[in-house]
Amino acid sequence: MTLVKTTANLIAVLAMSCFLVPATWGQTAAQPPAPAQAPKASHKKKPVAAAQGAKPKQTAKADAKAEEKADAKPEVAGKRDPFVPLVNDKKPSGPPLPPGKAGLVIATVRVDGTVKAASGMLAVVTNPDQRTYFIREGDRLYDGDVEKIGLDGVTFKENSKDAFGKPVERLVTKRIYPSAGEQQ
């Protein structure tokens, strides 16, 4: 019975902290600035705009930036936003690939089919962005060449470098219907 009460108390404390801590952060970050002291009276007349504390004329861009800052969430020093995911879902961006067949990376290509044409064999492949390409034997890809196209798949000659920077060539076969344990 005491285990149930302890668990209930723990859940209640956690629930209250979930609601009180963000409210406390908002109050500390959004405190209004201290009121300015009243200017000392002087015998000289000041212009009306300066006496009322008006800001100098701003451009449209400056006004837009000021509004963005006012709309932005207050930042608390040393605290991270609890609603921002810890894991980044974005793909790491490397150098941009050239357009067309020349931008196909052999490791990411999927073979969808092959066709026997009068001019030779064609292969239908797709990239990770689901764009479809027709390739022939001898076509140059980003990191290799199309070596051979058969009825069951495509053989690529992949050019890469090992850990010491030495060029390495290897044959990679991608099948239309890969068997168990075979990479597509």
Give the mean model confidence (pLDDT) for residues 61-89. 68
Greater model confidence, 37 or 152: 152
3-state SS assignment for residue 100: helix
* CA proximity to 133, closest of 105, 159, 160: 105
Q: How far apart are CA 64 and CA 103, in angstroms?
A: 40
CATH T-level assignment (fold) for domain 100-175:
SH3 type barrels. (2.30.30)
CB 135 within 8 A of CB 125: yes
Greater model confidence, 35 or 112: 112
Q: What residue segments make up the domains of the chain, in order of their start?
A: 100-175
Phi, psi of 4 (to 5 degrees): -65, -45
pTM as predicted:
0.49
pLDDT of residue 75: 60
Alpha helices in the chain (DSSP H): 2-29, 48-51, 60-71
Res. 126 pLDDT band, cuts 50 70 90: very high
Share of the chain above pLDDT 70, in %: 65
**Contacts of residue 171, Cβ cutoff 8 Å, sequence gap at least 6:** 147, 155, 156, 157, 158
CB 172 within 8 A of CB 106: yes
* CA proximity to 144, closest of 120, 166, 170: 170
Q: How far apart are CA 134 and CA 148, in angstroms?
A: 14
Q: How far apart are CA 81 and CA 170, in angstroms?
A: 47
**Residue range 146-171, pLDDT digits in tens:** 999 999 999 999 999 999 999 999 99
Q: How far apart are CA 160 and CA 8, in angstroms?
A: 59
Give the mean model confidence (pLDDT) for residues 129-140. 94
